[in-house]
Amino acid sequence: MDADLQPIHEKVMQATGPEDLFGSEDVVLPAQTLLGYLEKKYRPLKDVTSQAYQDPEDLEASRDADQKLERLYALAQQRIGNHVYGIEGRGRLKPPYATRCFDVGPNRYFLGTKLWDGEHISLHEAFMERDGVSVGEVVIKVAKDPSHNHIVDAEVRNLDILHNKPVPQWKHLPYIMDRFQSGGRQGIVQRKISGHPLSEIRRHRAHKNGLDRKHMVWIMDRCLSCLGYVHRQRLVHGALDPERIIVQARSHNALIVGWSAAVYEPARSGERTAVPAGDFTAPEVRDRGNIGPWSDIYSLGKLMIWLLGGDISTNQIPEGIEEPWAPFLQSLVAEDYLKRPTDAWEVHQQECTIKDKLWKRTYLHLDMS
């Protein structure tokens, strides 16, 4: 077989779905962005499969590959349009125990096990079907009583604000796929997020004494990018802690979750987060004072000090960490909010400047095995 055609033919014919062929990092991005990535992966393959080969066997192989390529390309476009491209559990049948189901528009959701049972909200695994075809795994979040609907409503409002513009920072945020009511209770369907909360990373045997500073930096980088966008949309998370930052080790992504407690324009609206204060809570959030972007910057700084194995009561950084990082991180956690940075984008630029002076940018595997 032609030397250029053979590897492409094998790759296309062995693919069981578009994600196998075009790639997927289990992230959510705006449709136009994903379509642009798809086109870049599709075009080089098409250039090979669409050639008029002289050898009859090459011609037949190229036509077979070209036909399958077109089917997978069309399916990828359809999945992107439905916001399910790269969805978790794609292609797997729902388990036998998932028998209860409900419909939202063209989508059918089969309920699985309860993932979490809080005081006001419960989370359930679920399996999505569309037109009778298994799509993938999702998470159902529902108020336990109609009096708690405001919690779900707040998450919907805040995530709607954050998805109002097609930006790359979508990949750092949860994504709502559907909304519904059940017995007067508000519910939402979200894409399933796989990954490791910071608490799990610190408990891991490889990181129990503190995460390597290079891993800390790329995690902080993603969080600052997300918060920079969030704050431009006039939202403040207000409740960042080790459970609300989820790290995806393979794709080097970090997501910020827990948006039901976020506040919108707190200086004007007077909104305050209802989440109880914790070790990473900014003083002004705890004391119901002047909440703003500086509050999230404080919490993120505390989290990164803790992730390194530092002491968050004194903000002491472990020995052996390159000198610029200690004063940089400590500047984020001043008790007086007037002495902290106020712009996550500017902090992000400072972080990039420090790391680029210290190290060349390379991919580092985060061990969570």
User: For 97-107, how does the pLDDT look when each residue is reduced to its tens digit (9 = 90+)?
Assistant: 999 999 999 99
In a domain, 269, yes or no: yes
Within this chain, do residues 292 and 169 fall inside the same structural domain, yes or no?
A: no
- Angle, to 10 degrees, between the axis of helix 5-14 and the axis of helix 56-81? 50
Confidence band for 32, pLDDT divided at 50, 70 and 90: very high
CATH number at residue 166: 3.30.200.20
Within this chain, do residues 181 and 242 fall inside the same structural domain, yes or no?
A: no
- Convert the pLDDT of each residue in 119-129 to its tens digit: 999 999 999 99
CA distances from 82 to 132, 181, 346 (A): 15, 21, 35
| Alpha carbons 279 and 290: distance in angstroms, whole number | 18
pLDDT at 92: 86
Domain limit, last residue, from 191, 215, 243: 191
Domain limit, last residue, from 191, 226, 256: 191
| Alpha carbons 298 and 202: distance in angstroms, whole number | 20
Within this chain, do residues 72 and 122 fall inside the same structural domain, yes or no?
A: no
Within this chain, do residues 158 and 179 fall inside the same structural domain, yes or no?
A: yes
pLDDT at 24: 84
pLDDT at 275: 82
- Convert the pLDDT of each residue in 333-366 to its tens digit: 999 999 999 999 999 999 999 999 999 989 999 9
Mean pLDDT of the chain: 95
Within this chain, do residues 273 and 347 fall inside the same structural domain, yes or no?
A: yes
Q: Are 136 and 84 in contact (CB under 8 A)?
A: yes
In a domain, 114, yes or no: yes
Mean pLDDT over 137-145 rounds to: 97
pLDDT at 277: 84
Within this chain, do residues 303 and 215 fall inside the same structural domain, yes or no?
A: yes
Domain limit, last residue, from 81, 111, 141: 81
Mean pLDDT over 318-326 rounds to: 93
In a domain, 89, yes or no: no
- Angle, to 10 degrees, between the axis of helix 31-49 and the axis of helix 5-14? 130
Residue range of the domain that includes 236: 196-358
Within this chain, do residues 153 and 218 fall inside the same structural domain, yes or no?
A: no
Within this chain, do residues 148 and 205 fall inside the same structural domain, yes or no?
A: no
Percent of the chain with pLDDT over 90: 92
Strands 121-130 and 107-117: antiparallel
Within this chain, do residues 205 and 314 fall inside the same structural domain, yes or no?
A: yes
Nearest-5° Cα angle at 337, 336 to 343: 150
DSSP H stretches of helix in 82-143: none
Place of tokens 């030397």: 3
The whole model's pTM is what?
0.94
| Alpha carbons 201 and 210: distance in angstroms, whole number | 9
Q: What are phi and psi for residue 344, nearest 5 degrees?
A: -65, -30
Work out how many domains the chain is built from and give that number: 3
Percent of the chain with pLDDT over 70: 99
In a domain, 124, yes or no: yes
Within this chain, do residues 241 and 255 fall inside the same structural domain, yes or no?
A: yes
CATH number at residue 237: 1.10.510.10
Please name the residues in contact with 74: beta carbons below 8 A apart, sequence gap of 6 or more.
Answer: none
Confidence band for 26, pLDDT divided at 50, 70 and 90: low
Q: What is the DSSP letter of 317?
A: P
In a domain, 94, yes or no: no
- Convert the pLDDT of each residue in 44-83 to its tens digit: 999 999 999 999 999 999 999 999 999 999 999 999 999 9
CA distances from 232 to 161, 170, 226, 265 (A): 11, 14, 10, 10
In a domain, 280, yes or no: yes
Within this chain, do residues 150 and 219 fall inside the same structural domain, yes or no?
A: no
Q: What is the DSSP letter of 222?
A: H
In a domain, 93, yes or no: no
In a domain, 66, yes or no: yes
Within this chain, do residues 204 and 291 fall inside the same structural domain, yes or no?
A: yes
Q: Terminus-to-terminus CA distance in the chain, angstroms? A: 40
Nearest-5° Cα angle at 31, 26 to 32: 125
